[in-house]
Structure 1
Amino acid sequence: MMIFSRLRIVSIAAIASLTTCYAGMAAADEFDLSPEQPKRVHAQRNEAAIASIPKGFKFVTSGKFTVAVSPGGPPLATYATDAKTVVGADPEYANAIAESLGLQLELVPVAWIDWPLGLTSGKYDAVISNVGVTEQRKEKFDFSTYRKGLHGFFVKADSAITSIKEPKDAAGLRFIVGAGTNQERILLRWSDDDVKAGLKPLELQYYDDEAASLLALRSGRADVIVQPHAQLVYIAGRDKNLKRVGTLSAGWPDRSDVAITTRKGSGIADTLTLATNGLIKDGTYAKILAQWQLSEEALPASETNPPGLPKF
Structure 2
Amino acid sequence: MESFMIGRPVIRACSFVLMMTALTSFSTARAGDAVFDLSPEQPGRIHAGRDERATAVIPKDFKFVKPGVFSVAVSPSGPPLATYATDATTVVGADPDIAYAIADSLGLKLELVPAAWIDWPLGLVSGKYDAVISNVGVTEQRKEKFDFSTYRQGLHGIYVKSDSKITSIKEPKDAAGLRVIVGAGTNQERILVEWSKENVAAGLKPLELQYYDDEAASLLALASGRADVIVQPHAQLVYISARDKNIKGVGTLSAGWPDRSDVAITTRKGSGLAYALTIATNNLIAGGTYAKILDRWQLAEEAVPKSETNPPGLPKF
Q: TM-score range by the shorter chain?
A: over 0.9
CA distance in structure 1 between the aligned counterparts of 2:98 and 2:29, rounded to whole angstroms: 24
Is the partner of 1:155 in helix, strand or coil? strand
Q: Residue 126 of structure 2: which of 107, 121, 126 is its match? A: 121
Is the partner of 1:136 in helix, strand or coil? helix
Counting only pairs closer than 5 Å after superposition, residues 1-312 of structure 1 correspond to structure 2 as: 1-4=4-7, 5-11=9-15, 12-312=17-317
Render the CA deviation track for 1:94-149: whole Å, top value 9, x for unaligned: 00000011000011001111110000000000000000011111111110000000
CA distance in structure 2 between the aligned counterparts of 1:253 and 1:112, rounded to whole angstroms: 26
CA distance in structure 1 between the aligned counterparts of 2:122 and 2:47, rounded to whole angstroms: 30
CA distance in structure 2 between the aligned counterparts of 1:212 and 1:134, rounded to whole angstroms: 32
Render the CA deviation track for 1:239-295: whole Å, top value 9, x for unaligned: 011100000000101100000000011110011000000000000000000000000
Is the partner of 1:99 in helix, strand or coil? helix
Shift of 1:17: 1.2
CA contact (8 A) 2:150 2:262 kept: yes
CA distance in structure 2 between the aligned counterparts of 1:219 and 1:3, rounded to whole angstroms: 21
CA distance in structure 1 between the aligned counterparts of 2:132 and 2:247, rounded to whole angstroms: 31
Shift of 1:10: 2.8
Shift of 1:3: 3.7
**Equivalenced residues, count:** 312
Shift of 1:20: 0.9
CA distance in structure 1 between the aligned counterparts of 2:263 and 2:14, rounded to whole angstroms: 35
Q: Which runs of 5+ in 2 are unaligned?
A: none
CA distance in structure 1 between the aligned counterparts of 2:262 and 2:13, rounded to whole angstroms: 35
Render the CA deviation track for 1:4-39: whole Å, top value 9, x for unaligned: 222221322222111111111211211000000000
CA distance in structure 2 between the aligned counterparts of 1:96 and 1:145, rounded to whole angstroms: 14
Residue identity (%)? 77
Shift of 1:309: 1.1
CA contact (8 A) 2:11 2:217 kept: no
CA contact (8 A) 2:73 2:131 kept: yes
CA distance in structure 2 between the aligned counterparts of 1:202 and 1:7, rounded to whole angstroms: 18
Q: CA RMSD in A?
A: 0.7
Render the CA deviation track for 1:168-200: whole Å, top value 9, x for unaligned: 000000111000000000000000000010000
CA contact (8 A) 2:154 2:262 kept: yes
Extract structure 1 runs of 4+ deviating beyond 2 A: none
Report the TM-score when normalising by structure 1: 0.99
CA contact (8 A) 2:151 2:307 kept: yes
